Amino acid sequence: MSRKLYPVLSLALVSAFVLTACGGGAEPTQAPQPPAATDAPPPAGNPLAEYGLPDYYPADYINIIDASKQEMETVSDGLLVYSIMGESNWAPVLEAFYAKYPWMNGKVTALDLGSYEVFERYYSESASNARTGDMIITSSYDAWQEFIAKGNVVDYTSPEDANVPDWSKLSTGIYTFSSDPMILIYNKQLVSTPPTSLADLAALVTADPDTFKGKVTTYDAVNNATGFAINWFWLKQKGEDGWATLSQVGQSTPTRQSSAGNMVNAVISGEALAGYFVSAISVYPKFPDAEPVLGWSYITDGQPILVRGQAVTAAAKAPNSARLLMDFVLSAEGQIAVSQGGLTAYRADIATQAKSHLSTIEQAVGADNMVFFFLDPDLTDQAKKDAFIQRWDTSVPAPAQ
């Protein structure tokens, strides 16, 4: 994940983004559990009708809307979001969000930070009462659990709660932004037998070790939060068979990378023949230009799904605006916009409308082969984490310097 910062995304650029008070607007009544969604419009006279909100939104949601308007008048720097997505991912989401809530136009700053950096920055700033993120979006599940334990997540139930799957509700107040696959890539011109599983890649390495030596690339699981999480959850599901497969792939002494972009570029250039556990959001934008060279596949023997958790923070200066953004992302309209930004939507009722949807991945690999990130209690055990990293480091040795 890139650590590049993006400033306020104005409408001219394309757009921007999020959360619980340490000096913001009035605290609204918590939204109750919504009833099942319907397609019926809000009844006449409903103050939410102006915003095109479904009838399952409670009438007192207008309090959140009104408080958001006040926040954008009093919080000079608007809504501040610490995320692990770039400008292109945010653009269609914010464009649609601004169209729905015009007072938010140009008032969202979405920073593209590292998976752990979002928390490190929040802790440092909130400790000194400095301005910090109203909303956090990341996929670091060990850090998420520490964040929860320290009381930094706002207890909030979205009106969209009944319309998103149970697995996407990571904890009270933490919902899923997107569900993105980590895939296999290969150079079509240099790899004659395209791999569709890690077992396939292991077989290629084993059959021709000299060709693949130093020519496979992946995330660094020792020093990179994303790489650690992918390997942790994949091996959690695959067990000892998974470790055996990974060790076979490791015979190629894979090049360890801190970003998927580097992996993709290495495969396209021929510097690497193949890459595994590569973030799809760095692969898809390369097409159609890279079609003659770059091939890719879901991982049929265990498809990692990077689940991006989102929450409003306890130190938020614009908590109601953050709620608006999170609820929008969870809505049917918001999930379609998420997919237009290169991420993978998961809400079931927009499967045929989304540019990229989780159901397509499940159909390709089978439900039993989906490997979701989740709040695993074992991640809070430092001894287990250290033992895992040590074993991974041995199983997937880095190339000699």
* Residues 249/272, Cβ–Cβ less than 8 Å: no
- 3-state SS, 25-53, equals CCCCCCCCCCCCCCCCCCCCCCCCHHHCC
Q: What is residue 169's predicted lDDT score, i.e. its pLDDT?
A: 97
Report the distance separating Cα 327 and Cα 17, nearest Å.
12
Q: What is residue 44's predicted lDDT score, i.e. its pLDDT?
A: 55
Report the distance separating Cα 319 and Cα 26, nearest Å.
9
Q: What is residue 293's predicted lDDT score, i.e. its pLDDT?
A: 98
Closest C-alpha to 4, from 120, 144, 117, 125: 117
Residue 238, Cβ neighbours under 10 Å: how many?
Answer: 18
Q: Residue 274 belongs to what H/E stretch?
A: strand 274-279
State the pTM of this model. Answer: 0.85
Q: Residue 255 belongs to what H/E stretch?
A: strand 255-257
Q: What is residue 3's predicted lDDT score, i.e. its pLDDT?
A: 37
With the C-alpha atoms ordered 276, 280, 286, 291, is the resulting torsion angle positive or negative? Answer: positive
Report the distance separating Cα 152 and Cα 148, nearest Å.
6
165-215 pLDDT, tens digit each: 999 999 999 999 999 999 999 999 999 999 999 999 999 999 999 999 999
Q: What is residue 46's predicted lDDT score, i.e. its pLDDT?
A: 80
User: Given this chain, do its domains 49-179+307-359 and 182-305+377-395 carry the same CATH topology?
Assistant: yes
CATH number of the 182-305+377-395 domain: 3.40.190.10
Apex 338 CA angle, 118 and 79, nearest 5: 45
71-92 pLDDT, tens digit each: 999 999 999 999 999 999 999 9
The DSSP secondary structure of 299-352, one letter per residue, reads: -TT-EEEEEEEEEEBTTBSSHHHHHHHHHHHHSHHHHHHHHHTT--B--GGGTT
Domain regions of the chain by residue span: 49-179+307-359, 182-305+377-395
Q: What are phi and psi of 112, to 5 degrees?
A: -100, 100
Q: Residue 260 belongs to what H/E stretch?
A: helix 260-269
The CATH superfamily of 49-179+307-359 is Periplasmic binding protein-like II (3.40.190.10)
pLDDT less than 50: residues of the chain:
1-39, 42
Residue 52, Cβ neighbours under 10 Å: how many?
Answer: 12
Distance of CA 242 to the CA centre of its chain: 24
Q: What is residue 45's predicted lDDT score, i.e. its pLDDT?
A: 67
